[in-house]
Structure 1
Amino acid sequence: MDQNLVRAVDQTIRSRHSVRAFLDTPVSTELLKDILTVASRAPSGTNIQPWKVYVLTGKKRDELVQRVCQAQIELQANPALAEHYGETFSYYPQQWFSPFIERRRENGWGLYGLLNIQKGEKEKMARQQLRNYELFDAPVGLFFTLHKALGIGSKMDVSMMIQNVMIAAKTRGLDTCPQAAWNPFNQLVLEVVGAGQEEELICGMALGYADPDHIINSYITPRVPVEEFAVFLNH
């Protein structure tokens, strides 16, 4: 066993986290192709490789940001507009319960605490929510889709591919933030990227070079110990 390789892989996985502030430093198309080529080695049931990825930079990236930000601003002003939007599948449960609700709250208030956003400060919360649709200023937006007729297993497949993208990016000095926040605006996203009617949005992802000076990037989410989620059976 190559211990140097083990340490390098482990460090890449451990150091990956969701970055929410990026520099405007561009990322070359060649580098993006390299990352996606490596990521495509993800497993998929019977090797159907169900994923499709739209890579947005430049004017097309800015167009999507402008349109979805405008939609979100209008939605915040008039919640009744929510009937015009919606996810194609439920990412989160309809009713939260322990221990997941506590972990969710810990994450939310940990982030808001760094940004000095207090409970009840709805305008500040809304502004931070809007940052999702600005891709946190990342120069690259990735949008992962599947054919609607595929089964739940294909969502597992694309999830493994998405993880590969994040790890491959990290090894190349880039950072990422996977974003389910785009899913309610899936029809708008699919329209801008020119996706077919048979496609559904799985998630978006901001990709670029992390802003090392922004306080929000100092937030690292905790993980429960292995004893809390793994069951070892030997008899």
Structure 2
Amino acid sequence: MSSSSTVENHSSEAAALVDQAIEGRQSIRAFTDKPVPRALIEEILAVASRAPSGANTQPWKTYVLQGAVKDSLIDKVCAAHDALRADRSLADEYTEAFDYYPRTWVSPFIDRRRENGWGLYGLLGLERGNKDGMHAQHQRNFRYFGAPVGLMFTVNTVMGSGSLMDYGGFLQSIMIAARARGLDTCPQAAWNSYGKIILPHIGAGPDEMIVCGMALGYADESALVNTFRTPRVPVSDFTVWLG
């Protein structure tokens, strides 16, 4: 076999492995309690730290929550989530540091959101109007879907909106590195409204704000919810070819 053929085969194999990790990633909503070794978490974060950032600012900061510290945060945020449901006037106490979703939804984004929501709820047998069931399902976010590791990400408030773009690459790198090692994840913006509870709990400084949380662990392969796969529009729908 020629050297060029060897290089081509190696490149093809490498591409297949990378593609497999990317395409195999999905938002897992039920995990086993199998522990994740600290060394493996550190390895994933070290790989992800190679994500690009403007002027190499590396704006990310990661908190790894396990055991009693994680369970205590879960209790606090779930209590706040229940209280907010009971008294909507508390909404002003729980606000995001930045708008993750648009303030006004338009098509096609609202259509995709509805398709996603009702596809998931339909799979779980949660019919429209089942507020108790939807509340319980939403609260599973704040239980990290049973994952043994909860990640919380912050950014310094001095940074600009470009750092949130940089953060996207870092988060994706974590998820792909985890998948390549047989682990699964679920990125969670649901935590963002509870910064006033989360930040002091994790020991964050006054100059930090929540970017998002993430569940990390091993998927429960027997869970029905993990059969849910979101669709993607074809390349032709989001690409404009010029020249």
Q: Which residue of 2 aligns with 1:94?
A: 103
Which residue of the other structure, out of 85, 109, 113, is the alignment partner of 2:118? 109
Deviation at 1:150, TM superposition (A): 0.5
Which residue of the other structure, out of 13, 27, 33, is the alignment partner of 1:18? 27
Take 1:180 and 1:114, find their aligned partners in 2: how far apart are those partners? 22
Is the partner of 2:34 in helix, strand or coil?
coil
Q: Which residue of 1 aligns with 2:4?
A: none
Is the partner of 1:176 in helix, strand or coil?
strand
The number of aligned residues is 234
**Stretch moving more, 33-42 or 74-83:** 74-83
Which residue of the other structure, out of 62, 75, 84, is the alignment partner of 1:66? 75
Q: CA RMSD in A?
A: 0.6
TM-score (norm 1): 0.98
Q: Which residue of 2 aligns with 1:155?
A: 164
Q: Which residue of 1 aligns with 2:84?
A: 75
Take 2:87 and 2:191, find their aligned partners in 1: how far apart are those partners? 18
Q: Which residue of 2 aligns with 1:140?
A: 149
Take 2:154 and 2:81, find their aligned partners in 1: how far apart are those partners? 21
Take 1:85 and 1:20, find their aligned partners in 2: how far apart are those partners? 24
AA matched with 1:58: G
Percentage identity across paired residues of the two chains: 53
Deviation at 1:203, TM superposition (A): 0.3
Q: Which residue of 2 aligns with 1:175?
A: 184
Take 1:163 and 1:142, find their aligned partners in 2: how far apart are those partners? 14
**Stretch moving more, 223-232 or 79-88:** 79-88
AA matched with 1:147: N
* Unpaired stretches in structure 1, ≥5 consecutive residues: none
Q: Which residue of 1 aligns with 2:217?
A: 208
AA matched with 2:116: N
Take 2:87 and 2:37, find their aligned partners in 1: how far apart are those partners? 39
Larger Rg: 2
| 1:131 to 2:118 alignment | no
Q: Which residue of 1 aligns with 2:3?
A: none
